[in-house]
Amino acid sequence: MTLIKSISGIRGTIGGSTGDTLNPLDIVKFTSAYATFIRRSKQSSSNTIVVGRDARISGEMVKNVVCGTLMGIGYDVLDIGLATTPTTELAVRMSGAAGGLILTASHNPRHWNALKLLNHEGEFLTKDDGNEVLALAEKEDFEYADVDHLGKYTADSTFDKRHIESVLALKLVDVEAIKNAHFKVAVDTVNSVGGVILPHLFEALGVEYTLLNGEPNGDFAHNPEPLEKNLGDIMTEVAKGGYDLGVVVDPDVDRLVFICEDGKMYGEEYTLVSVADYVLEHTPGNTVSNLSSTRALRDVTEKYGCQYAAAAVGEVNVTTKMKAVNAVIGGEGNGGVIYPESHYGRDALVGIALFLSLLAHKGCKVSELRASYPNYFIAKNRIDLTPSTDVDAILEKVKEMFKDEQVTDIDGVKIDFPDKWVHLRKSNTEPIIRVYSEAATMEEADAIGKKLMQVVYDMQ
């Protein structure tokens, strides 16, 4: 089955039979459930829902079904066209809409698409709200509008410009310093909406750029997840020389990865670490990342005498924790930067502008900047289980075994040793335990991860 229903929305492969893939009938059902939830929650008096999409091949079809369904249930649609996830989030807030739907499967391959659900603040739904949407979809408890109360459709392509203007207006984005640095960058936008908006951002910042995979046709030139194994072309391009750095985003532009001037990976975990370093230097405060992110953020935070807090994996969990501890910066180790001065959502445009501000102030090479941070390596493993395995009981036993260490159990079990950590968490979609571990070398990280894996195997 490739139809995955979760609190953050619905995603799946295009085509196939109903209930098993992302097809028009299921799109209608889940869009109706979402619109019904928004109506009943009465969190906003607005009758408008924003719709934005990435450049996937299926995007036009999905958008038409979604917009027609929203109008059929009585909502006015504000279609902002090809737009990044953070642009759509900001558009909800800027337009005072009741909610928003982002049509993107993020880093999934070209044959996937998804509906991501936003509240009236332009933020992802909470767990309780997401579960309510799923329950409504299950019951198909919808009421559609009569002919006199159908929603209206409006297209508005101005939000890219408004998004960029909001980024340039941030106090810590030093536009003048960036322009004076005369940066030259290579940019891989993997044939999606980054190719639409990032050229305008770089032009506004006075950055010379070379665009790779810039045509937003949804026919991704490589696996769209911004990991080193997928980024050979831009790494080779930057290694030729003449560039200050490489910039890579995923199809919906909420993840951000850098390439050093020598063509080597900066490290996706260090996107947030670097931006946080810059933010904390100028506005000290708390920071947050999820439990599976690098310890380097904690180290940088404590360098400024501030406090770091960990959240469960998932963007909504990170933003909830950020609000609880009044964090000035946060995000995820996959290249996701969340800067509350802008909005509570991962935003690669904000990340780019803050990183370039940092680089302009430092006046150093990107590789030199990377070398200035604590060096950690994360190993990622998995334990395959039978469907009948009691994963919760296993994790409880692991927790008991390591009770003398620092243990966090808000999302699986994370064990913090003095110089390393291991995080075991149950997958929500398959019978496995994900095992992430971090240490000063990849060998140490893999070794401690496998040690914990053996502990679990011995329990079965």
Q: Which CATH superfamily is domain 377-459 in?
A: Alpha-D-phosphohexomutase, C-terminal domain (3.30.310.50)
Judge whether residue 196 has pLDDT over 60.
yes
Q: What is the mean pLDDT of residues 81-86?
A: 98
- Predicted pLDDT of residue 429: 61
Is 106 a residue of the active site? Answer: yes
Residue 192 reports pLDDT greater than 60: yes
What's the CA gap between 356 and 444, in Å, rounded? 33
Task: Please indicate whether the domains covering 3-157 and 377-459 agree at the CATH topology level.
Answer: no
Q: What would the pLDDT profile of 293-333 be if each residue is shown by its tens digit?
A: 999 999 999 999 999 999 999 899 999 999 999 999 999 99
Q: Give me 167's structure tokens.
A: 């980024």
Out of 32, 106, 274, 357, pick the active-site residue. 106
Per-domain boundaries in the chain: 3-157, 160-375, 377-459
CATH class of 160-375: alpha beta
CATH code for the domain defined by 3-157: 3.40.120.10
Q: What is the mean pLDDT of the chain?
A: 95
Token readout for 148 is 């006199």
Q: Which of 300, 220, 230, 294 is nearest to 265 (CA)?
A: 230
The residues near 308 (Cβ < 8 Å, ≥ 6 apart) are: 286, 287, 288, 289, 297, 298, 301, 302
Q: What is the pTM of this model?
A: 0.95
Q: Which residues of 291-308 are buried (b: 16+ CB within 10 A; e: fewer)?
A: bbbbbbbbebbeebebeb
Instruction: Answer whether residue 215 shows pLDDT above 90.
Output: yes
